Amino acid sequence: MERKLTGKTAIVTGAGRGLGRAHALRLAALGANIVVNDIRLDAAAEFDEELTAATVADECIALGVRAIGVEADVTDRNQVASLVERAVSEFGGIDILVNNAGGMLRPVERSAASTMDIDDLEFIIDVNLMSTVHCCQLVVPSMKERGSGRIVNVSSTAAFMSGVTFTSYGMAKAAIVRFTRSLATELGPFGIHVNCIAPSLIATSRALAQFPDRVKAAATIPLRRLGVPDDVSKVVEFLCTDLSDYVTGQCITVCGGNYLNVS
């Protein structure tokens, strides 16, 4: 793999396992120094996800780059400020932000529009939308100083779906798309690209544990399989390298064709 990102520094949130880990490892393989963030850096153990080293940061270091792990709750603006300060102190600045942290509440039936609990809604908004807003706003000064930057926010195909379930999650993820487009328009003159990705169900250990019946749905997907983390991290690579030099303000669905004409 060509090391197109040598000398760059990337923050990846929610990178202790799953998709975030995949994004961190791909960017490291491309030569970027990595700040691995998670609310729990040992998150992989919760879902028996095997690492090839003691931590995701160690996995990145094994790829020949510098990396640190920083535990922080990205719904807390003060903790995000500390995360960004640590990244700038350690590496001199920030070139890439991948806002992977997020989540939903189970069972999904609890999020019907007419009955969903307001505390649940506020939690989902905090975990998905406000975490993204905090991280974006607090990395922008460093990116402006460097005269360039790449921000990849993570939405979901739930942002474009109708139906009774996933209401609060879909609301938050739809708001991320709108926020991304506004931020891209604002920051374009500063050389900062802002895009988002919208994965469907991806076969991570957590997703397979939470939605075992969804595995059967692979037969209805045009590409006839569930996505895997590398399918998504390849799109992150595209958005973080010169391959997307004329792309900003876009939302790319990563769904095997399961949700067509939504972005």
So which residues are the catalytic ones?
169
Cα–Cα–Cα angle for 115, 201, 102, rounded to 5 degrees: 65
The residues with which 33 forms a beta bridge, in sequence order, are: 9
List the structure tokens of 231: 């399918």
The H-or-E segment that residue 27 falls in is helix 18-29
The answer to whether 83 and 72 have CB atoms below 8 angstroms apart is yes
Phi and psi based region of residue 144 (left: phi greater than 0; alpha: psi -120 to 50; beta: remaining): alpha
Secondary structure letter of residue 130 according to DSSP: I
